[in-house]
Structure 1
């Protein structure tokens, strides 16, 4: 009949359930977006600030490379520590759940049924679902429903660290090259234009990949970049004028 789906039949235009490692994908996506944004904004602020104080290409290149290396390593280390802590917490929660399943399986079954009942299932159906899922994979059922964790897809700190490192480096290279390659008179406008375009593109891309509205993400990224460059250029100009 029209409007009804047949079991096992793919319906055109109907998306598959959001599985396939969504948690892991969002983890490295978050790290990559944060790294790229930080690379663009922090390096742009650094080289624009130095440009406000001096027109020396050597000074700009040195400052930019130092900021790129320090920032990429700092981002990678921070993501590794943060995600490692998250993974340790997930493992501890799973270990606790394993112990509870081994010691009090009846109570855990009742708890699982209660959770499904809270989601809107009838008491009889919730109990049947809990029994079936417990027979199939008790830990997986409890981890997903009670803890919001997939035991097979725990957070990977190395993925987040490398994503942050590479994304920061890629983001930082754009304002650095835009500042040191053009002639002295064209450096600043080219850098500002390149940075704003990169931030707009990064905001749009992250919103699209995450399924969020693009306009707010673009505006946030661009506004942050503008503020950073204006402030650092003003400070650099003041320091350069004072001879510091």
Structure 2
């Protein structure tokens, strides 16, 4: 009798998933997007209120340094807080399993029943998973914690700072070489192109539609730069 061809049906275990990228991808996209947009807005605002190139470049460099450090600190604190909350949940669940295993088993059974399993099957699944690894079962199905993308504060901080500086380099370089009388339009065009490219790349890395992501960041970027330019022009006239 011929043997079945096992390769005809791909295994679900080798199917590529993109959710594991969410941690570093979020930090990278946020850092680069903030670097491009905040620096471009700062440059446009200063350029609209001052005709001095040295002032424009100095403001841009200061904005890059402050922004990169701020992003790093903010990401580290934010992700560290998330990690602390998850650790607290893990310890709480471990303690409950040790002090009241019967109630925890009943709770896990009820979860599977709510998801559509018959009571007998739900009880069997809960029992077998508890025998294998009760803590993992409760963390995954009761709390929603998995090891797919655990919090990494240092990674998030470093990625955010580096991508912020890399993104900020685009409008800063354009402001450096653009004609002094046309700094704002040059920076605006370069920024919109960079934001659109970043949105498309981020969407592609995450498996999302590229056009919608690019349009979204470009629209918000244009609004931010327009508002900052208007404010810079008003302040420049006042002082």
Structure 1 vs Structure 2 CA RMSD: 2.5
5+ residue gaps, structure 2: none
User: Normalized against structure 2, the TM-score is what?
Assistant: 0.88
Q: Which residue of 1 aligns with 2:212?
A: 216
5+ residue gaps, structure 1: 1-5
Residues 12 and 97 of structure 1, relative CA distance in 2, 3 Å threshold:
closer
Q: Distance in 2 between matches of 1:10 and 1:114?
A: 37
Equivalent residue pairs, number: 236
Q: Distance in 2 between matches of 1:60 and 1:173?
A: 14
Q: Which residue of 1 aligns with 2:87?
A: 91
Q: Which residue of 2 aligns with 1:75?
A: 71
Q: Does 1:146 align with 2:142?
A: yes
Q: Distance in 1 between matches of 2:78 and 2:6?
A: 41
Q: Deviations over 1:142-180 (max 9, x none)?
A: 100001112685311111111211111111111111111
Q: Does 1:126 align with 2:122?
A: yes
Match of 1:100 among 83, 96, 118: 96
What is the 5 A alignment of 1:192-211?
Answer: 192-211=188-207
User: Normalized against structure 1, the TM-score is what?
Assistant: 0.87
Determine if contact 1:143/1:151 at 8 Å carries over to the other structure: no
Q: Distance in 2 between matches of 1:141 and 1:7?
A: 34
Instruction: Please identify, of 225-234 and 182-191, the stretch whose mean Cα deviation from structure 2 is larger.
Output: 182-191
Match of 1:113 among 109, 117, 122: 109
Q: Deviations over 1:1-55 (max 9, x none)?
A: xxxxx897573597846768x35x2122112211111111110000011111223
Q: Distance in 2 between matches of 1:135 and 1:182?
A: 68
Q: Distance in 2 between matches of 1:12 and 1:29?
A: 28
Q: Distance in 2 between matches of 1:220 and 1:111?
A: 42
Q: Distance in 1 between matches of 2:106 and 2:200?
A: 46
Q: Which residue of 2 aligns with 1:3?
A: none
Q: Distance in 2 between matches of 1:160 and 1:211?
A: 21
Shift of 1:193: 1.6
